[in-house]
Amino acid sequence: MPQIEEFQRRIPGIIGSERNKEYAVLIPILETDSGPALLFEKRANNLNHQPDEICFPGGKLEPDESLLECAVREAAEELLISEDQIEILGPGDLYISPFNLVIHPYIGYVKDYKKTFSRDEVAEILLVPLQYFMTTVPEIYHNCLMNVPTEDFPYERIPGGEKYPWAKGIYDIMFYMYEDQIIWGMTAHIARSAVELIAQYDLIRN
């Protein structure tokens, strides 16, 4: 018998999402003497992936854990804090890259932080005043994305063959220049989105 009502209630999936890699990050808000700040990490220079780059605490989703659990676990491991020190306010907006990465941000307070971090993964901690992001317009540059078929692609099956007019895309690269540090790429995009949500929903405590 047709299950039309169940079908009408379903949440649409994303075609091709089986290639996506799911990550979760924490957008940590800290109360400082000069006001609220966002915490960033500078990745250790001995890491194979993106050494020396600035990012938020987070990592790849493990089997049998939720995205929220992933964000909290990774932040606790990287900052050497208890999960109880993290107070989640809610989810940020997804960041979907053209390279099969889906980043799930969660915004939250970190309480009683003593500037600890795991030197296996983190070189240093960076605190950036929230006001900086509120008042700074990031630099944005545009990269062109092109479709490059593999050598075994069956051109004979498509109109125009090797001259087929593949579509091109634009990938925006964002930069924040804070003191002597560069916050760029998807971290910059996620930071700007999080700050907009913090302002929109008045998430900062008075």
Largest CA distance in the chain: 66
pTM of the model: 0.93
pLDDT tens figures, 50-92: 889 999 999 999 999 999 999 999 999 999 999 999 999 999 9
Cβ atoms < 10 Å from Cβ of 142? 8
Look at residues 144, 129, 143, 146 and name the one whose alpha carbon lies nearest to residue 183. 129
pLDDT on residue 205 = 82
Q: Can you tell me which residue has the tokens 């790429």? A: 185
Q: What does the alpha-carbon distance between residue 43 and residue 123 come to, in Å, rounded to a whole number? A: 6
DSSP one-letter string for 131-200: HHHHH-PPEEEEEEE-----TT--GGGSTTGGG-----EEEEEEEEEETTEEEEHHHHHHHHHHHHHHHH
Domains of the chain: 20-200 (3.90.79.10)
